[in-house]
Structure 1
Amino acid sequence: MSEYRYVDYETADAVATITLARPEKANAQNERMLDELHHHFLAAEYDDDVKVIVLRGEGRHFSAGHDLGGGDPDPDAVSLAEADGSWQLNKIYRWEARKYLGYSWHWRNIPKPTIGAIQGKAIAGALNLIWPLDLLVVADDVEFSDPVVLMAIGGVEYHGHTWELGARRAKDLLFTQRTLGAEEAVQIGVAREVVPRDQLWERTHELAAQIAQNNAFGLAQAKRAVNQTLDVQGYYTALQSVFDVHHTGHGNAISVSGYPILMQLDEMKQNLKKQ
């Protein structure tokens, strides 16, 4: 990829910093942003001088999730619609299996510690970026949410919710569309610590630099030990199963309205503003 529009990348002191750089759209993720993000994660993964990876977002919010509003299209993006404007579930499934679940699963298994610096809103598809990370430092204004039940879908593609939140809290967030704030996130172990918004990046990089002092192979082994324990318990099997459940939502929408998302976006946005 010769030109980067939406994601910045830099390295210093054994830490790679990946920055979502579309603040005017609240870092909403279009296809090009996801491809750039994956490219930078790969660069950090295969750079022997990098021991720790930090993911952060410019602007008021970490990410508003998937870019569902159109606009600013990438001419190289693949259209999932048929020539007559109809939608085929098999195309959507294959695309999301690669760009959503596939990318996120790869990031989760990079053999280097990954740290997220999360501020403001982290909505729905933002969790596809957050759940794969190893540690989170959050600003005091952070709000995690996954309100896609409003679109007749059971949750986003990388469904780490139950593992991260516990069964009843995961259901609560999905059923009510409420947000998970900073103090609650720390209390239940989702986030490592809460810091004032203006100290978020500095504190995250202090933590990254501290971890980068360790032996790289030792860090990789420690991460693998924890991830393998989750996998033995069925983590990936559960993710794949719920990914299939997610696509029954798309199939239902296509059968009812001919479009992969059943509910009108304007109505969803109005509901979110009331929260």
Structure 2
Amino acid sequence: MQYETLDTTVRDGVAVITLNRPDQLNALNQAMLRELPQALDAAEADDNARAVLLRANGRAFSSGADLKEGVGSGMTRGDFKLGDPLRVHYNPLIEKLRGLDMPVVSAVQGLAAGAGCSLALAVDMVVAGRAGAFQMIFSSIGLVPDAGATYLLPRLAGRAKALGAMLTGEVIDAERAERWGLIWQVVDDAQLEDTAMSLAASLAARPTQALAWTRQLVDAGAGDSLAGQMAGEADYQDACQHTEDFAEAINAFMEKRPPTFRGR
């Protein structure tokens, strides 16, 4: 499928989705917000894809919402509600990203700001180049953080650091983001693409369903009791027991060979 704002390909079991508005710092316009869910749906439907790599062309991951487009469409009109684009586009996109039945990696070069920061951090594992940076820019323009930021950041970095980043709008460089626990890994900029792709490919080679269920358990754990969480773990273990990948793991163990998982 051809996209106006994205490039997509599948290689080594990874659906690579590339934000492709480099001249606009990959600002999230309406076309991109329509196309990203379509690309994620296509990745899930592709039997050759068992992980997703979300990356961007140009010098920034994403500068956030395309304010030029928003102003042009009447953002300041009295009858325009700023929450409506969130309800219609951003919120379903983040929920879809968090609910995929396969692991998702993002590769962040340059700035990920505003909703672009939320998008970059909504995945399972984030790899950033040393020039990468994250900014909750909302307070600088009189808005509250959105696209899941107030859910994601406190769970990743803790309340104090997350709230400080949101209130001040301070740019958080990649190394500090790694120290805070916002991201998985910082690498030299020249190694970003290879490292992120290698990570995504390694996840694609693992038991896909078990990885997706692991994410669901971790997300549920933020609001569950220990007893409730352990009950959920037991239920998911029952489900894992009936997957082909678990059977392959047992056979490989008995045959003293590495397992070959197929994501089923």
Q: TM-score range by the shorter chain?
A: 0.7 to 0.9
* Aligned twin of 1:15: 14
Matched, 1:157 2:177: no
**Deviation of the 1:46 alpha carbon:** 2.3
C-alpha distance in structure 2 between counterparts of 1:220 and 1:70, whole Å: 35
**Which residue in 2 is equivalent to 1:201?**
193
| Match of residue 181, structure 1, among 173, 184, 195 | 173
Q: Give the CA deviation at 1:80.
A: 6.8
Counterpart code for 1:66:
A
User: Which residue identity lines up with residue 16 of structure 1 in the other structure?
Assistant: A
Aligned length: 222
1:231 Cα deviation after fit: 5.2
User: What letter is aligned with 2:44?
Assistant: E
1:126 matches 2:126: no
CA offsets per residue over residues 211-255 of structure 1, 9 Å max, x none? Answer: 12112222222222222223548xxxxxxxxxxxxxxxxxxxxxx
Whether the 8 Å CA contact 1:127–1:158 is kept in 2: the answer is: no
Residue 143 of structure 1: how far off its partner (Å) = 1.1
Structure 2 Cα separation of the partners of residues 93 and 178 of structure 1: 24
- Indicate the SS of the match to 2:164: helix
Counterpart AA for 2:26: N
C-alpha separation in 2, matches of 1:42 and 1:80: 31
Q: 1:56·1:116 contact (CA, 8 Å) conserved in 2?
A: yes
CA deviation vs aligned residue, 1:162-217 (integer Å, no higher than 9, x gap): 22221111221122221111111111221111111121111111111111211222
State the alpha-carbon separation in 2 of the partners of residues 69 and 55 from structure 1: 24
Cα separation, 1, equivalents of 2:10 and 2:113 = 28
Query: Using the alignment, how far apart are the partners of 1:95 and 1:175 within structure 2?
Result: 23
Partner of 2:262: none
- Aligned to 1:87, what secondary structure does the other structure show? coil
Tell me if 1:141 matches 2:140: no
Matched with 1:99 is: 89
Q: State the alpha-carbon separation in 1 of the partners of residues 93 and 224 from structure 2.
A: 21
Deviation, structure 1 residue 3: 4.5
Closer, same or farther: CA 104–56 of 1 in aligned 2, 3 Å: same
1:8–1:21 CA contact under 8 A, matched in 2: yes
Q: Give the TM-score normalised by the residue count of structure 2.
A: 0.78
TM-score if structure 1 supplies the norm length? Answer: 0.75
Shift of 1:127: 2.2
Contact kept in structure 1, 2:127 and 2:185, CA below 8 Å: yes
Query: For the Cα contact (< 8 Å) 1:111–1:223, is it kept in 2?
Result: no
SS of residue matched to 1:16? strand
Please say if 1:55 is aligned against 2:46.
Answer: no
Cα displacement (A) at 1:138: 0.4
State the alpha-carbon separation in 2 of the partners of residues 232 and 97 from structure 1.
Answer: 26
- CA 227–174 in structure 1, closer or farther in 2 if over 3 Å, else same: closer
Which is greater in Rg?
2
Partners of 2:153 and 2:182 within 8 A in 1:
no
Unaligned runs of 5+ in 2: 226-264
User: Which amino acid in structure 1 is aligned with residue 208 of structure 2?
Assistant: A
